Amino acid sequence: MLCRELGFHLAQDFYWWNPSKLPTPAEWVTVRRVRVKDAVNQIWWLSKTPWPKASNTRVLQPYSSSMKTLLRDGYTPNMRPSGHDISDQFQKNNGAAIPPNLIAVANTESNSPYISYCKSHDIKPHPARFSLRDSGIFHKDAYRRRRYRNGPICRQLLFRSS
């Protein structure tokens, strides 16, 4: 519906892993014990255009220790068991790594600017709020420029970028 009927474009899908999420659905997880707890939520990054103004260079993260070792000691280019052909270009030090589309952040905050604003204006906070400031992905990229101001989730993100 969002894409077909409202003209949005899916820029990328992200997955939010909340390590503090309560066991749900409770009946299946804690009562009957026939399922494990649901811990991942999907986040869709939607854009008004097919090519949003974005750059992964704004959300780079430090290299892992193994990547630092690879850059220091070198690597013999060859075919990996996965089928990827790793060339000598893989040894180029770009200063940092491109992050994955998995955001691992707990949702345990109870006194954020968003929550405080809702309390002071007698508004019930939205239950599907994400602690994205700590993830860096959205905070440093699209929302950093304060371009999106509509909707309760976007307002929450603007509070975070202040």
Q: Shortest CA distance to 30 belongs to which of 40, 38, 41?
A: 38
> Could you tell me which residues come within 8 angstroms of residue 114 by beta carbon, excluding any fewer than 6 positions away?
125, 129, 155, 156, 159, 160
pLDDT tens-digit series, residues 87-146: 888 888 999 999 898 888 887 777 778 888 889 999 998 876 766 555 556 655 544 454
**71 in a domain, yes or no?**
yes
pTM for the predicted model, two decimal places: 0.70
Q: What is the pLDDT of residue 108?
A: 78
Q: What is the pLDDT of residue 46?
A: 85
**70 in a domain, yes or no?**
yes
Q: How many structural domains compose the chain?
A: 1
Name the residue with higher pLDDT: 65 or 139: 65
Q: Which two tokens stand for residue 136?
A: 């860096």
pLDDT at 149 over 80: no
**95 in a domain, yes or no?**
yes
Name the residue with higher pLDDT: 55 or 94: 94
